[in-house]
Structure 1
Amino acid sequence: MSPPPTKLDGRRLRSERTKQLIIEAYLALAQELSPRVPTAAEIAGKAGYSVRSIFERFPDIRALQVAAVDYCFAQIAALAPPRGADGDRGSRIEAYVRTRGQTCERWARLWRSLVVNQGDSPELGARIRLARELVRDRMELMFAPEFAMMQPEERLRTLILLEALVDVESWERMREFFSLSFDDACHVWMQTIDRLLPKSSSEAA
């Protein structure tokens, strides 16, 4: 006789919970050890499981990295949904910058580790491209009125400049090298974005 469904469901839930705890342990260590990738033994110790438990759920550390990045994307989507896109120019710039700053503040070290250690992994490379595309998509949404005033070539150049401006490395330089506070770093981005985006005749007056 097959076991009752409730036992199977409970076992599956425990396995998924174990998988999540392993991912969270990897993320915590990746933040601490960046840019070095944590070893399986370090991850197991942090999670409170055996190394065997890790490889029962992930074929290798690279697969665990990919799962961790996907987990981060889900967290970012849940914690930083688009907001303020229908506000005036100043409020849209501030809303975008503060949300982006919070994301960089939380995930900068993990991003550094991901970029440094992507190697020849097409899966990690695809996640890096997706992350950058999401940044551009958010900018196009938040600054749609300004982009609408530009010709296609100018719009593309401005988008490239803005994407480089709000890169994680830019945030890290402001916070760590120049020792700016969170608010001061946001102010630098807001001021620069305001200068790069065109203004309507009423705003320029």
Structure 2
Amino acid sequence: MSKNQLAEVVDGRRLRSERSRLAIVEAALALQEEGVLVPTAQQISDRAGVGIRSFFRHFEDMESLFEVADNHIRDSYEAHFLGGDRSGTLAQRVDRAVERYADGYEGVSNIMLGTQAQLWRYEVLRKNYARNQRGLRKDLNDRLPELKSLPRETREAIDAIASFEMWHRLRRHQKLSKKSSSNVVKSLLKNLIEGTDADS
């Protein structure tokens, strides 16, 4: 076998390995998005069309898979929340922020729930979840710079109201529509911010 032929074989194996690795990552994410919040290695392997031994050749454990999966979707995850028009009155900016977050939470709901279900188990998920929370909080402060002058207790309340946990409660536990949930969050935020301004 010539050097060129050998190189082609090696490149072919590398490409197949990369395709298998990507298929595993995408299978894990697809299962979560479909509602299998904590998929097993076997479920992921079956979905990806690879053997369980192949799974563990690429990922030594589930935590290493989650780390790669997070890197794989980070840009698309952040795109759900960041950007958009940030001009206008306080009320207009609150409305736009809530609508943007509502769309984002709807889009990544099962991924978030799957992550929350396993925070106790994996350090990488705790780290990534904390990073995402810090990012959302910074984004809200950028959209609503008025928050910086409010008391700490008020800012903490606002952070809680704008959170995924609040959104999930309204949508799943209180069974409100997306529109009604958005209106609840908008009303709470405006009342809290404007009420605090009036008291100061």
Instruction: Say yes or no: TM over 0.5.
Output: yes
From 29, 32, 51, the counterpart of 1:30:
32
Conservation of the 8 A alpha-carbon contact between 1:66 and 1:123? yes
Number of the residue aligned with 2:23: 21
Number of the residue aligned with 1:76: 77
From 190, 196, 199, the counterpart of 1:194:
190
Conservation of the 8 A alpha-carbon contact between 1:19 and 1:57? yes
Change (3 A) 1:8 1:195: farther
Number of the residue aligned with 2:115: 114
The separation in 2 between residues aligned to 1:184 and 1:83, in whole angstroms, is: 22
Conservation of the 8 A alpha-carbon contact between 2:24 and 2:55? yes
Percentage identity across aligned positions? Answer: 24
The separation in 2 between residues aligned to 1:79 and 1:128, in whole angstroms, is: 16
- AA in 2 matched with 1:194: K
The separation in 1 between residues aligned to 2:50 and 2:185, in whole angstroms, is: 43
- Determine if the alignment matches structure 1 residue 127 to structure 2 residue 123: no
The separation in 1 between residues aligned to 2:158 and 2:99, in whole angstroms, is: 15
Change (3 A) 1:102 1:9: farther
Number of the residue aligned with 1:143: 144
Number of the residue aligned with 1:161: 157
Following TM superposition, by how much is the alpha carbon of 1:6 offset from its aligned partner in structure 2, in angstroms? 7.2
The separation in 2 between residues aligned to 1:9 and 1:137, in whole angstroms, is: 43
Change (3 A) 1:182 1:78: same
Following TM superposition, by how much is the alpha carbon of 1:52 offset from its aligned partner in structure 2, in angstroms? 2.3
- AA in 1 matched with 2:21: K
TM-score by length of structure 2 reads 0.83
Number of the residue aligned with 1:91: 92
Unpaired runs of at least 5, structure 1:
none
The separation in 2 between residues aligned to 1:180 and 1:79, in whole angstroms, is: 21
- Determine if the alignment matches structure 1 residue 174 to structure 2 residue 170: yes
Following TM superposition, by how much is the alpha carbon of 1:142 offset from its aligned partner in structure 2, in angstroms? 0.4
TM-score by length of structure 1 reads 0.81
Secondary structure of the equivalent of 2:194? coil
Unpaired runs of at least 5, structure 2:
none
Following TM superposition, by how much is the alpha carbon of 1:47 offset from its aligned partner in structure 2, in angstroms? 1.4
Secondary structure of the equivalent of 2:119? coil
- AA in 1 matched with 2:39: P
Following TM superposition, by how much is the alpha carbon of 1:126 offset from its aligned partner in structure 2, in angstroms? 0.9
Change (3 A) 1:194 1:12: farther
Change (3 A) 1:10 1:167: farther
Following TM superposition, by how much is the alpha carbon of 1:141 offset from its aligned partner in structure 2, in angstroms? 0.4
Following TM superposition, by how much is the alpha carbon of 1:79 offset from its aligned partner in structure 2, in angstroms? 3.9
The separation in 1 between residues aligned to 2:107 and 2:132, in whole angstroms, is: 15
Following TM superposition, by how much is the alpha carbon of 1:116 offset from its aligned partner in structure 2, in angstroms? 2.4
